[in-house]
Amino acid sequence: MLEIDDLHVAVSGKEILKGLSLSIDAGEVHAIMGPNGSGKSTLSYVLAGREGYEITGGSIRYRGEDLAAMAPEERAAKGVFLAMQYPVEIPGVTTMNFLKTALNAQRRARGEKEVDALGVLRLVREKAKALHISEEMLKRALNVGFSGGEKKRLEILQMALFEPALAILDETDSGLDIDALKVVADGVNALRSPERAMLVITHYQRLLNYIVPDRVHVLYGGRIIKEGGKDLAHELEAKGYADIIREAA
């Protein structure tokens, strides 16, 4: 599904990712763990196609295609979804209208029939319930005045609605209390499927108690310095990053 090979990425001329390699197959959930400044967010943004992230070396292939050559909207239409750490607030656009516009933009790009307002409403309602997202929230302006937990739940709602093939979750646990974390993790787990790959990016092991990964990669200094099964997350929690970094050095 996703093959990242020796990826180098610079932001404002400064190299952040320095030869990152990673491969994820359909049906797998991988976790990327790393301390602050290791390049976690850079990886998520470069996968989603944000401007200002310059690929200076290596490649990203998604389903055999060159992901880096695609515009952000093209990636979305082809099934790449990034649940952002800081979803933006957009006054003047209702959440419901945004969901409808985005869903149909993706469908249009794929040559699929658009879903009418009522159809979108049905789809959203059904998925919103499980995530404890109220009708009232959907009528409000996108993310405006939403709590941290509400914003993260809305990201997962979008993931459920768009049904991406590759979902990247960037620090989805940050700012969540344990109850909110469970709701979000349940939402994510419900979307695990043999056709879908997920990349869970996090600083803490806590989220991985609820979203149990198949593989764990430790990112440090712009490179993967250690890989392992789900137990690696526990090891990290027990030892802290410093020990792992020392061992890898």
Query: Of the ranges 34-42, 61-69, 97-105, 221-229, which one interacts with other proteins (CB under 8 A)?
Result: 97-105
Instruction: Record the tokens describing residue 50, joined without a space.
Output: 């944000």
Q: What mask, x for binding other proteins by CB under 8 A, covers residues 160 to 189?
A: --x---------------------------
- DSSP letters for the chain: -EEEEEEEEEETTEEEEEEEEEEE-TT-EEEEE--TTSSHHHHHHHHHT-TTEEEEEEEEEETTEEGGGS-HHHHHHTTEEEE-SSPPPEEEEEHHHHHHHHHHHHHHHTTPPPPPHHHHHHHHHHHHHHTT--HHHHHSEETTT--HHHHHHHHHHHHHHH--SEEEEESTTTT--HHHHHHHHHHHHHT--TT-EEEEEESSSHHHHHS--SEEEEEETTEEEEEESTHHHHHHHHH-HHHHHHHH-
Distance CA 157, CA 132 (A): 10
Query: Of the ranges 82-90, 132-140, 185-193, 228-236, which one interacts with other proteins (CB under 8 A)?
Result: 82-90
Query: Of the ranges 20-28, 90-98, 182-190, 227-235, which one interacts with other proteins (CB under 8 A)?
Result: 90-98
Rule CB under 8 A: is residue 49 a binding residue for other proteins? yes
Rule CB under 8 A: is residue 212 a binding residue for other proteins? no
Query: Of the ranges 6-14, 71-79, 216-224, 239-247, which one interacts with other proteins (CB under 8 A)?
Result: 71-79
Rule CB under 8 A: is residue 88 a binding residue for other proteins? yes
Rule CB under 8 A: is residue 111 a binding residue for other proteins? no
Rule CB under 8 A: is residue 26 a binding residue for other proteins? no
Which of 69, 109, 117, 248 contacts other proteins by CB under 8 A?
A: 109
Rule CB under 8 A: is residue 10 a binding residue for other proteins? no
Q: Which is nearer to other proteins, 104 or 209 (CB)?
A: 104
Residues of this chain that interact with other proteins (CB under 8 A) are 48-51, 71-73, 75-77, 82, 84, 87-88, 90-93, 98, 101-103, 105-106, 109, 158, 162
